[in-house]
Amino acid sequence: MEKELHEQYEYARRRIKQKKRLYSHFVVFVLGSLVLFLGHNFLNSTVLSEWYLWIITIWLFLFILHFIKIFITDRFMNKDWEREQIDRLVALQKKKVEELEIQIANDETTNSTTL
């Protein structure tokens, strides 16, 4: 039981750390976007009229990917999901090994009867 409590604590700690990084990412995104917008307006840049929008759009896309990873992907593909997948694959391997052992045993019996 102690091990299970420790695993739950570690999982909760890791999730809180992930969410904290996401919220920090959001704050930096908002502040960075504001700085880019103000920088564009104060510099009166004519090289590319909306350069700051491109940067903000790419940054928003990266933030959305980060959000999806934290709240969608990691929620469903956690330790329990990994254990289920490992157990399923181990069961399939055991089944294949048993089938091969039966096949080898059958081949041995047919070879010994023909000799």
Rounded Cα distance, 15 and 38, in Å: 35
Per-residue tens of pLDDT for the chain, all 115 residues: 688 888 888 888 988 999 999 999 999 999 999 998 888 888 776 666 777 888 999 999 999 999 999 888 877 777 777 788 888 999 999 999 999 888 888 887 777 666 5
Q: What pLDDT score was predicted for residue 39?
A: 84
Output the pTM of the full model.
0.63
Q: What pLDDT score was predicted for residue 34?
A: 94
Q: Is the dihedral of CA 29, 32, 36, 38 positive or negative?
A: positive
Rounded Cα distance, 104 and 98, in Å: 10
Rounded Cα distance, 60 and 65, in Å: 9
The string of DSSP letters for 32-75 reads HHHHHHHHHHHHT--SSTTHHHHHHHHHHHHHHHHHHIIIIIHH
Rounded Cα distance, 7 and 50, in Å: 49
How is residue 98 annotated by DSSP?
H
Q: What pLDDT score was predicted for residue 93?
A: 93
Total length of the chain: 115
